[in-house]
C-alpha cells in the first residue's frame, strides 16, 4: 500500500491525479477553482442544480465583494479543467476527494448535525475506488474523523482505511471577502491518519498554498480548528461584555479599548451588535460537543450566551432612544440597515440582523430591511428608500455604503430622528450635529452611568 500512496504522491506532484470537490460553497468553490487553475482536472459535486448551472456557465454564484473569484470561476471553467455536476457517478474516477459540505449544529441542543456530511460520505463511499485519498475540509467536532467519517466510509465502501484508502482532515481558514487571499496566504493544519498521509496532503496543498503547512494527526487538526474559532468567540464576548459595562457606567468602550490595548499583551477586539457567519457561532459548540469536553466546558457556552444576547441589547437601545423621542417600540417602523453578518458580504448565515428582526416582530414593531448585497433587501433607491418614513434606523452591519450616509439627509428621511449604531459607524458628535437621538453599542450617555448616580 505504501507503493500506491507513493504513486498517488507522484500523480499529485504531476497534477495528473483527478480531484473531486464535494460541496461548492464558500469553501469548496474557491478551492476547486484554485486546483483547476494550477492544472488539476476537478469535478465539483453539489446538490444545488442552480449553483452547478451557474458554475458551468462560468458565473460565480457567490455575491458580495470577493476579489478575484468571479474571474477565477470563468477561467477555471473556460480552461475545461473544472466541471460542476449534481451527478455523483464521476466520483469513481477521483484519486483525491475533498469534502466541503456544511457541518451545522442543532439550534436548540447545539449538538453537531451530520446530515450533509453523511450524505457526502455516502455518495463517495458508494463509488470510491481503492487508492483514494479522502480529505475533509469541513470543520468537525473533535473525534468525528475517527468516530464517524472512517467507520462510515469503511462500512459503505467495503474498503479498509489505511489499506485501501486514506483519510485526512485539512480544515479551512477562509472567510467571506477574503476567500482566495486566505486560501493562498493562511497557514494550514494538515491532519493525516498517518504521518505519510499528511506528507502526501502537504504535497497536494503546496500547489495552492504559499504559507506554512503544518502536518499533524486527525484529532489535533479537529481541535485546532474548533479551538481557534472558539478562541475568537470568547474574545469577542469579552469585548461585548466590556461594551455593556462601559455603557452602563456612562463611558465609551472604544476609548477604553484603545487605552487598554496599550497594555503589553492585551488585544481587545471590537464589540458590536452580535456575532454571525457560518463558523464563529457554531464552531465553539462543535468543540464543546466533541471528544474530551463532556461536562468540562463553562467559558465557551458563557461566551456564546453573551454574543447571542447582543441583538437583544440593540433592541433595548432602540426602545430607550424611541422613548426619549416620545415614541414607542410597539407599532414602530424600524429600518434595519444590513442583513449580512459581515461588512461588504452577501453571507447572511446566523446573521445578528435576522435575530433583531425576530425580536422587533415579537415587540410589535415592523422591520424594513436593507442590504446592498443581499436579495431581496437590495431595494432600488438604496438605504434612503428603506429609511423613508421610518421611526428609527438601526445600523447592524458596517457596509462601506453605510459609512457614507450623510446624517442630515438620514434625519430628513426619518419620521422620528432615532439612530441606533450597532457597529460604531458614526460618532455621537456627528449624530448630535444632525439633530439625531443617537445610541451606540458600548457608549454610555454622559451623566447617565452608574457612577453618576452614586
CA dihedral (109, 340, 189, 99) positive or negative: positive
Which residue among 225, 282, 390, 411 is the active-site one?
225
Residue 350 or 416 having the CB closest to ligand NAD: 350
In the complex, least distance from residue 28 CB atom to ligand NAD, rounded to whole angstroms: 6
Instruction: Write the DSSP symbol of residue 443.
Output: B
138: contact with ligand NAD by CB under 6 A: yes
In the complex, least distance from residue 217 CB atom to ligand NAD, rounded to whole angstroms: 19
Which residue from 48, 75, 316, 328 is in contact with ligand NAD, where contact means CB under 6 A? 48
Between residue 268 and residue 287, which ones bind ligand NAD under the rule CB under 6 A?
A: 278-279
d(CA 282, CA 288): 10
Which residue among 33, 279, 390, 440 is the active-site one?
279
For residue 41, give every residue at least 6 positions away whose Cβ sits within 8 Å of its Cβ, in sequence order, or none: 18, 19, 81
139: contact with ligand NAD by CB under 6 A: yes
Residue 178 or 445 having the CB closest to ligand NAD: 178
**N residues, the chain:** 454
The strand pair at 188-192 and 165-169 is best described as antiparallel
Nearest to 140 by CA among 225, 205, 238, 32: 225
Distances (CA, A) of 169 to 186, 205, 285: 16, 12, 19
451 is catalytic: no
Burial class (CB within 10 angstroms; exposed 0-12, middle 13-18, buried 19+) of 209: buried
Q: What are phi and psi of 364, to 5 degrees?
A: 80, 15
x/- mask, ligand NAD, residues 115-134, rule CB under 6 A, reads -x--xx--x-----------
- Binding segment for ligand NAD (CB under 6 A), chosen from 9-17, 41-49, 209-217, 293-301, is 41-49
Residue 173 or 313 having the CB closest to ligand NAD: 173
Which residue from 1, 4, 5, 47 is in contact with ligand NAD, where contact means CB under 6 A? 47
Residue 118 or 388 having the CB closest to ligand NAD: 118
Which residue from 31, 45, 317, 319 is in contact with ligand NAD, where contact means CB under 6 A? 45
Residue 49 corresponds to which cell in the numbers above?
442544480
- Binding segment for ligand NAD (CB under 6 A), chosen from 11-19, 72-80, 114-122, 376-384, is 114-122
Residue 85 or 240 having the CB closest to ligand NAD: 85
x/- mask, ligand NAD, residues 174-213, rule CB under 6 A, reads xxx-------------------------------------
28: contact with ligand NAD by CB under 6 A: yes
Which residue from 17, 27, 221, 336 is in contact with ligand NAD, where contact means CB under 6 A? 27
Residue 283: its H or E element: helix 283-288
Residue 117 or 386 having the CB closest to ligand NAD: 117
Q: What are the E-state strand segments in 101-252?
A: 132-136, 165-169, 188-192, 213-217
Which residue from 9, 25, 35, 164 is in contact with ligand NAD, where contact means CB under 6 A? 25
152: contact with ligand NAD by CB under 6 A: no
Between residue 87 and residue 106, which ones bind ligand NAD under the rule CB under 6 A?
A: 100-103
440 is catalytic: no
* Cβ pair 407, 314 in contact under 8 A: no
Residue 27 corresponds to which cell in the numbers above?
469553501
> How many residues bind ligand NAD, per CB under 6 A?
28
26: contact with ligand NAD by CB under 6 A: yes
SS3 70: helix
Residue entry with cell 451530520: 114
In the complex, least distance from residue 48 CB atom to ligand NAD, rounded to whole angstroms: 4
* Cβ pair 296, 372 in contact under 8 A: no
In the complex, least distance from residue 286 CB atom to ligand NAD, rounded to whole angstroms: 8
* Cβ pair 232, 280 in contact under 8 A: yes
Instruction: Write the DSSP symbol of residue 64.
Output: B
In the complex, least distance from residue 39 CB atom to ligand NAD, rounded to whole angstroms: 23
Residue 263 corresponds to which cell in the numbers above?
497594555
- Binding segment for ligand NAD (CB under 6 A), chosen from 172-180, 187-195, 234-242, 253-261, is 172-180
- Binding segment for ligand NAD (CB under 6 A), chosen from 25-33, 160-168, 186-194, 400-408, is 25-33
d(CA 133, CA 136): 10
Q: Which residue sits closest to ligand NAD, CB atoms considered?
A: 25
Tell me the β-bridge partners of 19. Answer: 42, 96
Q: How would you label 105-131 residue by residue, b for 16+ Cβ within 10 Å and e otherwise?
A: beeeebebbbebbeebbbbbbebbeeb
Nearest to 274 by CA among 398, 362, 106: 398
Which residue from 17, 20, 24, 419 is in contact with ligand NAD, where contact means CB under 6 A? 24
d(CA 115, CA 411): 48
Which residue numbers are catalytic?
Answer: 225, 279
Which residues of this chain interact with ligand NAD, rule CB under 6 A?
A: 22-28, 45-48, 51, 100-103, 116, 119-120, 123, 138-139, 172, 174-176, 278-279
Amino acid at each position: 500500500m505504501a507503493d500506491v500512496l507513493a504513486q498517488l504522491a507522484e500523480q499529485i506532484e504531476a497534477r495528473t491525479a483527478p480531484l473531486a470537490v464535494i460541496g461548492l460553497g464558500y469553501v469548496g468553490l474557491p478551492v476547486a477553482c484554485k486546483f483547476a487553475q494550477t492544472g488539476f482536472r476537478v469535478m465539483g459535486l453539489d446538490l444545488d442544480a442552480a449553483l452547478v448551472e451557474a458554475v458551468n456557465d462560468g458565473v460565480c454564484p457567490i455575491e458580495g465583494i470577493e476579489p478575484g473569484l468571479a474571474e477565477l470561476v470563468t477561467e477555471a471553467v473556460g480552461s475545461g479543467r473544472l466541471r460542476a455536476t449534481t451527478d455523483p457517478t464521476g466520483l469513481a474516477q477521483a484519486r483525491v476527494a475533498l469534502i466541503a459540505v456544511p457541518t451545522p449544529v442543532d439550534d436548540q441542543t447545539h449538538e453537531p448535525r451530520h446530515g450533509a456530511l453523511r450524505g457526502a460520505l455516502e455518495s463517495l463511499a458508494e463509488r470510491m475506488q481503492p487508492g483514494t485519498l479522502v480529505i475533509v475540509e469541513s470543520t468537525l467536532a473533535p473525534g468525528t474523523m475517527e468516530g464517524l467519517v472512517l467507520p462510515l466510509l469503511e462500512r459503505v465502501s467495503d474498503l479498509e482505511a489505511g489499506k485501501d484508502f486514506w483519510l485526512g482532515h485539512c480544515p479551512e481558514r477562509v472567510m467571506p471577502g477574503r476567500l482566495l487571499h486566505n486560501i493562498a496566504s493562511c497557514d494550514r493544519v494538515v491532519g493525516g491518519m498517518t504521518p505519510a498521509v499528511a506528507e502526501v496532503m502537504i504535497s497536494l496543498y503546496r500547489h495552492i498554498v504559499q504559507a506554512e503547512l503544518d502536518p499533524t494527526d486527525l484529532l489535533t487538526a479537529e481541535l485546532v480548528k474548533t479551538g481557534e474559532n472558539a478562541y475568537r468567540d470568547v474574545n469577542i464576548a469579552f469585548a461585548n461584555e466590556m461594551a455593556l459595562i462601559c455603557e452602563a457606567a456612562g463611558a465609551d468602550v472604544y476609548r477604553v479599548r484603545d487605552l487598554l490595548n496599550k497594555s503589553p499583551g492585551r488585544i481587545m477586539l471590537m464589540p458590536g451588535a452580535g456575532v454571525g457567519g457560518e463558523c464563529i457561532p457554531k464552531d465553539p459548540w462543535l468543540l464543546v460537543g466533541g471528544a474530551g469536553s463532556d461536562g468540562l466546558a463553562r467559558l465557551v457556552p458563557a461566551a456564546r450566551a453573551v454574543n447571542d444576547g447582543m441583538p437583544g441589547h440593540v433592541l433595548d437601545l432602540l426602545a430607550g432612544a424611541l422613548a426619549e423621542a416620545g415614541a414607542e417600540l410597539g407599532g414602530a417602523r424600524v429600518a434595519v440597515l444590513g442583513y449580512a453578518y459581515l461588512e461588504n458580504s452577501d453571507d447572511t448565515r446566523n446573521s445578528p440582523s435576522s435575530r433583531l428582526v425576530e425580536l422587533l416582530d415579537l415587540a410589535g414593531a415592523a422591520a424594513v430591511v436593507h442590504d446592498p448585497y443581499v436579495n431581496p433587501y437590495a431595494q432600488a433607491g438604496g438605504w434612503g428608500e428603506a429609511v423613508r418614513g421610518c421611526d428609527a434606523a438601526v445600523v447592524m452591519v458596517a457596509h462601506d455604503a453605510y459609512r457614507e450616509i450623510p446624517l442630515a439627509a438620514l434625519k430628513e428621511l426619518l419620521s422620528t430622528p432615532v439612530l441606533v449604531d450597532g457597529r460604531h459607524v458614526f460618532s455621537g458628535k456627528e449624530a448630535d450635529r444632525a439633530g439625531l437621538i443617537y445610541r451606540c453599542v458600548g457608549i454610555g450617555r454622559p451623566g447617565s452611568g452608574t457612577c453618576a448616580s452614586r
